[in-house]
Amino acid sequence: MKLKRSLNLRLLAGLAVTLTAAAVYSAYTARQIRGLRELQRETIDRNRIESLLLLRIQNDLNALGLIMRDMLDSSEPYPLSAWENQWKRMRADLRDAIERESRYAPRTRTADQNRYLASSAAQFADAFDRIFELARTNENEARTRIRLSLQARQAALSTAVSRLLVQNNESEEQAAAHTHEIYWRVERNLYVFLAAMLVVIGGSSAYLIQYNDRLLRHVTSLSERRSELAQQLISTQENAFRSISRELHDDFGQILTAIGVMLQRAKRRAETAPELRAGLRRYMKSRRRRLKKSGRCRRLCIR
C-alpha cells in the first residue's frame, strides 16, 4: 500500500510539473503572438496606410509641380486663372490626404514633424491662393512669385514628404526585424519546450522502468520468502505429527500392554472365582446392549 501510494504521488507530481511547463509555455507563446499581432496592427499596418497617404500627398505635389510648370510656360495662350479649378480640386485632395495622414502617423514621429507637414501644406495652399488673386491684376508678377517662391515651397514640401517616407520605410524594416526576432524566439522556445518534454518523458520512463524493476525484485523476494516459510511450515507440521504419533504409539502401546496384563490376571482369577466370571459377563452384556442402542455395536468376546 505504501509503495502504491508513493508511486501515485510521484506520478501526480510529474504530471503536475509537465502540465505546469505546458501552461507556462502556452502562456508565453500566446503573449508573443499577441505582441506580434499588436506590432502588426500598430506598426506595420499603420505604417503601410501612412506610406500610401504620403505617396498620395507626393503625387498631389508632383501634379501641382506640373501645373506650375504649365503656368510658367509662355507658349500657353491661357491665363493663370484657367488652372484655378484644377488647383481647387488638388487642394481639396491634398487637404484630405494630410488630415488622414495625421491620424495614421506613427508613434515614433514627433509632434513637431506632424505640425511641420500640416503647417507647410497650409502655407503652400495660402501662397497658391494668393498667386491666383495676384494673377487677376498682374499675371507677370504672379508668374514671378511662382518661379521664385511657390516652386521652392513645393520642393521643400515634397522633400519633407520624401523624408517621412524614408522614415516609414525604416520603421517598417525595424518592425520586420522585430517580427523576425519574435518568430525566432517562438521557434527557439518551441525547440526548448520539446527538448524539455523529451527529457521529462525520458526521465519519467526511466524512473518507471527502474521502479517497476525494483518492485518486481521485491515481489520476487517476497515470493521466495513465502515459499521458504511454506516449506518451514510443512516441515514443522511433519515434525509435530511425527512427534505426536511417536508419543501416541509409545504411550498407547504401554497402555495396551498394561491392559493385556490386567486381562490375563483377571482371566486367571476368573477361572478360580466363578462369581467374578459371572460379573464380568453381566457387565459385557449390559455394555453390548448400550452399544446397540447407540448404533456403535462391536463384537466383544471374552473367553
Q: Tell me the per-residue pLDDT of 98-114, one tens digit each, with 9 for 90 and over.
A: 888 888 777 667 777 77
**Domain coordinates of the chain in residue numbers?**
10-192
Range list of H helices, the chain: 2-39, 45-72, 84-103, 111-135, 139-145, 151-272, 274-294
Return the C-alpha cell found at 288: 453390548
Helix or strand or coil: residue 234?
Answer: helix
- C-beta separation of 27 from 90 below 8 A: no
Whole-number Å distance between alpha carbons of 57 and 48: 14
Close Cβ partners of 145 (under 8 Å, ≥ 6 residues apart): 127, 130, 131, 134
Amino acid at the residue 21: A
Close Cβ partners of 223 (under 8 Å, ≥ 6 residues apart): none
Q: What is the pLDDT of residue 292?
A: 67
Return the C-alpha cell found at 149: 517662391
Residue 70 has pLDDT above 80, yes or no: yes
Q: What is the pLDDT of residue 298?
A: 45
* Choice between 40 and 93, residue whose per-residue pLDDT is larger: 93
Is the CATH number 1.20.120 carried by domain 10-192?
yes
Residue 276: CA atoms inside 13 Å, Cβ hemisphere, count?
11
Close Cβ partners of 297 (under 8 Å, ≥ 6 residues apart): 288, 291
Q: Tell me the per-residue pLDDT of 238-287, one tens digit each, with 9 for 90 and over.
A: 888 777 777 666 666 666 676 666 766 666 666 666 666 676 667 666 76
Q: What is the pLDDT of residue 303?
A: 40
Cα 291 to the center of its chain, rounded Å: 89
Q: Tell me the per-residue pLDDT of 140-160, one tens digit each, with 9 for 90 and over.
A: 888 888 888 888 988 998 998
pTM: 0.53
Return the C-alpha cell found at 221: 523476494
Q: Which long-range contacts (CB under 8 A, 24 or more apart) does 163-167 make?
A: 164/54, 164/109, 164/113, 164/117, 165/51, 165/54, 165/55, 165/58, 167/106, 167/108, 167/109
The stretch 6-15 carries a mean pLDDT of: 66
CA distances from residue 199 to 99, 107, 205, 213 in whole angstroms, order as listed = 58, 45, 10, 21
Amino acid at the residue 256: L
Whole-number Å distance between alpha carbons of 183 and 80: 58
Q: Tell me the per-residue pLDDT of 76-104, one tens digit each, with 9 for 90 and over.
A: 677 888 888 888 898 899 999 988 888 87
**Start-to-end CA span in the chain (Å):** 73
